[in-house]
Homo-oligomer: A and B are copies of this chain.
Amino acid sequence: MPVNRQITLASLIHGNPTPEHFKLVESAMPSIEEGEFLVRNLYLSLEPAIRGWLEGKESYFPPIPIDGVIKGPTVGRVVESKNSQYQPGDIIFALNRWEDYSVVDESAILLEKLSPKEGIPLSYYVGPLGGSGTTAYCGLHEVGQIQAGQTVVVSAAAGATGSMVGQIAKQRGCRVIGFVGSDAKAKLITEEFGFDAAINYKTAPDLAAAVNELVPDGVDVYYDNVGGAILNAMLTTMKVYGRIVCCGMIADYNQTDNRNPITNLWEVVARQLTMQGFLQFTYHDKVPAALAELEGWIKSDKIKVVEDITEGLANTPQAFGRLMSGATTGKALVKVD
């Protein structure tokens, strides 16, 4: 009898996640009701946002309880359906769970029926053509309101979202500077992803001075994935009427009881800045158009993709720990065996 392997939460996490915080369990194969369909998960998207759901605190989602299955975006294939809109064989993206099989209905968050393009690996649809890509796309356009000729700075620039932010902004005619955590990543984003410059935040003696030297006239749009010290420095480098896209605050995710203090918010008044936070599901109606444009850029090699693929559902916890310690480059994902 087939089983459904699942990764559950063994204990609430307060620092860096390790495999001990998770458990691999075998459950009975789920059955579906009218309106539902069963999805065989093929790729799991590992994302820093998941970290926020694992410490027992209410946020925009309820926290995952102990022994609850970890939630995360996946790409999967419909294998059984009692919903006329979804047929076996359909490929879908949605916020599912870390498991072999997920029961899905039309209310699933981020649900999208995919039409994978010839010549594009299916795994790309959890990353550059999944949440990372569409988040970057919507964040830059809907929140950042970028215009050609502007200067865009992005943090975690070698990561799944940051690398897409920089490359999309370049396609739009912006000048792009990325914060990264190693010289290897600095080389990657400038040589492979086409960023105009990189700043290694671990070795730069003064983050604001490093930006000011590259952008003496001030930054138009800062796409913030990290919060903390980089955000605090960036506040002092913005142009009047500049925009800060608040996408994530990775710097705090492993220490939410002791968050990095921000002391430069006065600049929001003095420089008349707009800081705007967003979650991708707010812009769900923009996803089809975003995907179409992103697929075109990827097929024509205008946007490059780097993946960090872990094989096997059982290795998901270890891969997630690597992501949250900053050890991965590009899109971190799991290929379900």
Residue of A249, A267, A276, A278 ringed by the most chain B CB atoms within 10 A: A276
Encode A71-89 as 1/0 by CB contact (under 8 A) with B: 0000000000000000000
Give the size of the chain A interface in residues (CB under 8 angstroms).
34
Pick the residue among B240, B265, B267, B276 that contacts A262 (CB under 8 A).
B265
A273 touches B277 (CB 8 A): yes
A269 touches B282 (CB 8 A): no
A272 touches B262 (CB 8 A): no
Pick the residue among B264, B267, B273, B279 that contacts A276 (CB under 8 A).
B273
A270 touches B231 (CB 8 A): no
Q: A227-B266, A263-B262 are in contact. Are A277 and B271 (CB under 8 A)?
A: yes
B261 touches A269 (CB 8 A): no
A276 touches B277 (CB 8 A): no
Q: Which residues of B contact A277 (CB under 8 A)?
A: 267-274
Residue of A60, A265, A267 ringed by the most chain B CB atoms within 10 A: A265
Encode A216-248 as 1/0 by CB contact (under 8 A) with B: 000000000001000100000000100000111
Pick the residue among B240, B249, B268, B274 that contacts A269 (CB under 8 A).
B249
Q: Which residues of B contact A270 (CB under 8 A)?
A: 52, 59-60, 277, 279
Is A90 positioned at the interface, with any CB of B under 8 Å from its CB? no
Residue of A52, A264, A266 ringed by the most chain B CB atoms within 10 A: A266
- The CA of A231 and the CA of B268, in the complex, are separated in Å by 13
Is A275 positioned at the interface, with any CB of B under 8 Å from its CB? yes
Pick the residue among B252, B256, B269 that contacts A247 (CB under 8 A).
B269
- The CA of A159 and the CA of B261, in the complex, are separated in Å by 28
B278 touches A275 (CB 8 A): no
Pick the residue among B262, B265, B276 that contacts A274 (CB under 8 A).
B276
B282 touches A278 (CB 8 A): no
Q: Which residues of B contact A273 (CB under 8 A)?
A: 276-277
Q: Which residues of B contact A240 (CB under 8 A)?
A: 60
Pick the residue among B248, B266, B269, B271 that contacts A259 (CB under 8 A).
B266
21 contacts between A and B (CB under 8 A): A60-B270, A246-B268, A246-B269, A247-B269, A248-B269, A249-B269, A252-B266, A256-B266, A259-B263, A267-B277, A268-B275, A269-B277, A269-B279, A270-B279, A272-B277, A273-B276, A273-B277, A274-B275, A274-B277, A275-B275, A275-B276
